[in-house]
């Protein structure tokens, strides 16, 4: 809120005569060596990678729909912070990733659970804390 008030005061009391004059590096007599541009490009790439959302951050519970023959289908919705949820080959964080789910995806579960993991139909496991 303070930042908004400060920016409002700058705009309110800004002199209408003053106009920002932009000058190029050449006009200022500055030259940036090519090696510096490599560093700038590397920093831009690093910042773009860091700003990508994490894999998932959400809540965890899910609902079931009854079946008739002793087999029960469970349906869940992926709830992340915008990142993708990994589908793993086995019920372990160390297991290989075989696919990804997007935030808001609806999935069918088999009903099998292991140590905080739920098996999805068609194979693969997802962490239960990212589905409800």
Domains parsed from the chain with CATH numbers: 63-130 (2.30.30.40)
The pLDDT score that the predictor gives to residue 126 is 92
Kindly tell me if the per-residue pLDDT of 121 is higher than 70: yes
Residue 108 · residue 121 · CB < 8 Å: yes
Region 16-37: what's the mean pLDDT?
A: 73
Name the range with the highest mean pLDDT among 26-35, 62-71, 117-126.
117-126
pTM (predicted TM-score): 0.48
Q: How far is CA 13 from CA 3, 6, 20, 39, 132, in A?
A: 16, 11, 16, 39, 52
The CA distance from 91 to 117, in Å, is: 6
């Amino acid at each position: 809120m303070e930042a908004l008030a400060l920016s409002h005061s700058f705009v309110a009391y800004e002199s209408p005569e003053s106009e920002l004059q932009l000058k190029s590096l050449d006009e200022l007599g500055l030259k940036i060596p090519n090696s510096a541009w490599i560093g700038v490009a590397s920093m831009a790439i690093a910042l773009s990678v860091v700003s990508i959302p994490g894999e998932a951050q959400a809540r965890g519970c899910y609902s079931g729909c009854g079946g008739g023959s002793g087999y029960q289908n469970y349906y869940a919705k992926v709830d992340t912070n915008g990142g993708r949820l990994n589908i793993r080959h086995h019920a372990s964080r160390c297991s290989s990733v075989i696919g990804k789910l997007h935030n808001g995806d609806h999935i069918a579960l088999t009903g099998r659970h292991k140590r905080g993991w739920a098996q999805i139909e068609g194979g693969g496991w997802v962490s239960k804390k990212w589905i409800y």
